[in-house]
Amino acid sequence: MKLTVAEIADKIGQSFEGDGNVEISKVATLSNADDCSISFLSNPAYLKEVEHCKAAVIIMREQDKDAAKSAAIIVSENPYLSYAQTAQLLYPAHTPEAGVHPSAVIDTNVNIHPGASLAANVVVEAGAVIANGVVIGAGSYVGRDVQIGLETRIEPNVTLLEGVVLGARNIIHSGAVLGADGFGFANDKGSWVKIPQVGRVIVGDDVEIGACTTVDRGAIGDTRIGNGVKLDNHIQVGHNVTIGEHTAMAACVGIAGSANIGAYCNIAGDVGIAGHLSIADGTTLTGKSMVTHSLKKGVYSSGLPVQETGEWRKNAVRLRRLNELFKRVKKLEDNS
């Protein structure tokens, strides 16, 4: 798609300076842009690249705009957000025509809106309700009594098991599994007895769930994901977990059962969260943190940053002797 600088500025609600009639067809980084591109500056560390940037227009803050010598400027207090809005304009998602592919397997007892689109080899079980504008990619499975809200997009090879409820305008990426059994077993003298998982997965509106992420059904009650939540790839959400509105999680986070994650939290990659605890609204967890108790609002870290191998080995040896050293220091203090 092509848009002029003026059209882009108008659609994203920002002002511009320079030639508004220049046509833009793509986004690009500051270093790779050409005269058909729009780029952006959100990190002042890249300010020097602006002078040599060949983009037709750059999205910048007011205080940085003097660095642009030849490009037009779209002035924004949040260039990264304006870039995201611009990219959506230039690269609109492909929406297939409504209808059901002949190879799809559809139970007779379903409610599929005529404005929905179901691709090849989709399976829809009895009791499913699929709303207007829903897109379901090839090979996806929609289980019994699943509900899919308006304009939700299910990419190819997604599995929605019995009773899953999805709100409006969600995006579920390939390989995701929603509604699998939670990890529930009772021990009987060393052997394990399965506990039926009878809850559901309830997902709000405007949620995005990444590729190969799994969200387990509740053991008794429901697993719940709030409006606007963003989950990256390869995340495990255990049974009866709740995730508050607009919380974002990077890849490989693991959440054990019955954890309660607040709203507006930012959780970095490879964080582990134990079960039956609460994390307050607005909390940030940095990469590889391990959460073993409930947290008040704040910024938390526990993973060790990478070190040169020789230094790490020396520290590891000393760490093994930490308790011994503590006892020696304590003894010296007691005798002083």
Q: What does the DSSP 8-state code read for residue 122?
A: -
Q: What is the pLDDT at residue 70?
A: 73
Q: What is the pLDDT at residue 107?
A: 98
Contact between 232 and 214 under an 8 Å Cβ cutoff? The reply is: no
Other beta carbons within 10 angstroms of residue 183's beta carbon come to 15
- Single out the residue in 44, 66, 90 at which a domain terminates: 90
Q: Identify whether 135 is part of a domain.
A: no
Q: 236 and 324 share a domain?
A: no
Catalytic site residue 234?
Answer: no
Q: 268 and 335 share a domain?
A: no
Please, what is the Cα angle at 242 between 288 and 231, to 5 degrees?
50
- Smallest CA-to-CA distance from 217 within 164, 146, 158, 277 is with 164
Contact between 262 and 281 under an 8 Å Cβ cutoff? The reply is: yes
Other beta carbons within 10 angstroms of residue 237's beta carbon come to 29
What string of pLDDT tens digits covers the 336 residues of the chain?
A: 899 999 999 999 999 999 999 999 999 999 999 989 999 999 988 888 888 889 999 999 999 988 887 778 999 999 999 999 999 999 998 889 999 999 999 999 999 999 999 999 999 999 999 999 999 999 999 999 999 999 999 999 999 999 999 999 999 999 999 999 999 999 999 999 999 999 999 999 999 999 999 999 999 999 999 999 999 999 999 999 999 999 999 999 999 999 999 999 999 999 999 999 999 999 999 999 999 999 999 999 998 888 999 999 999 898 899 999 999 999 999 887
How far is CA 179 from each of CA 121, 125, 239, rounded to the nearest angstrom?
A: 20, 14, 9
Q: Identify whether 187 is part of a domain.
A: yes
Q: Identify whether 153 is part of a domain.
A: no
- Assigned token pair, 152: 């939700």
Q: 329 and 292 share a domain?
A: no
Q: 271 and 323 share a domain?
A: no
Distance, CA of 44 to CA of 65 (rounded, Å): 11
Q: What is the pLDDT at residue 301?
A: 96
Q: 255 and 330 share a domain?
A: no
> Positive or negative CA dihedral for 86, 87, 88, 90?
positive
Choosing from 234, 239, 276, 293, which is the catalytic residue? Answer: 239
Q: Identify whether 7 is part of a domain.
A: yes
Distance, CA of 239 to CA of 255 (rounded, Å): 9
- Assigned token pair, 317: 């040896």
Contact between 71 and 59 under an 8 Å Cβ cutoff? The reply is: no
- Own/partner contacts of 286-291, CB < 8 Å, gap of 24 or more, are 287/250
Q: Identify whether 248 is part of a domain.
A: yes
Distance, CA of 285 to CA of 171 (rounded, Å): 24
- Single out the residue in 39, 65, 90 at which a domain terminates: 90
Residues 6+ apart with CB under 8 A from 265: 244, 247, 248, 279, 281, 282, 283, 284, 285
Domain of residue 264 covers: 176-303
Domain holding 37: CATH number?
3.40.1390.10
- Single out the residue in 90, 107, 131 at which a domain terminates: 90
Looking at this protein, which amino acid is placed at residue 311?
Answer: E
Q: 180 and 290 share a domain?
A: yes
Q: 232 and 326 share a domain?
A: no
- Smallest CA-to-CA distance from 39 within 90, 104, 107 is with 90
Q: 81 and 191 share a domain?
A: no
Distance, CA of 101 to CA of 96 (rounded, Å): 11
**Rg of the chain over CA atoms, in angstroms?**
25
- Chain segment 165-174, per-residue pLDDT in tens: 999 999 999 9
The DSSP bridge partners found for residue 214 are: 177, 236
Residues 6+ apart with CB under 8 A from 312: none
- Chain segment 283-304, per-residue pLDDT in tens: 999 999 999 999 999 999 998 8
Q: Identify whether 138 is part of a domain.
A: no
Contact between 136 and 122 under an 8 Å Cβ cutoff? The reply is: yes
Q: Identify whether 66 is part of a domain.
A: yes
Q: 236 and 289 share a domain?
A: yes
Domain holding 195: CATH number?
2.160.10.10
Q: 238 and 327 share a domain?
A: no
Q: Identify whether 114 is part of a domain.
A: no
- Chain segment 12-66, per-residue pLDDT in tens: 999 999 999 999 999 999 999 998 999 999 998 888 888 888 999 999 999 998 8
Count structural domains, the chain. 3
Percent of the chain whose pLDDT exceeds 90: 87
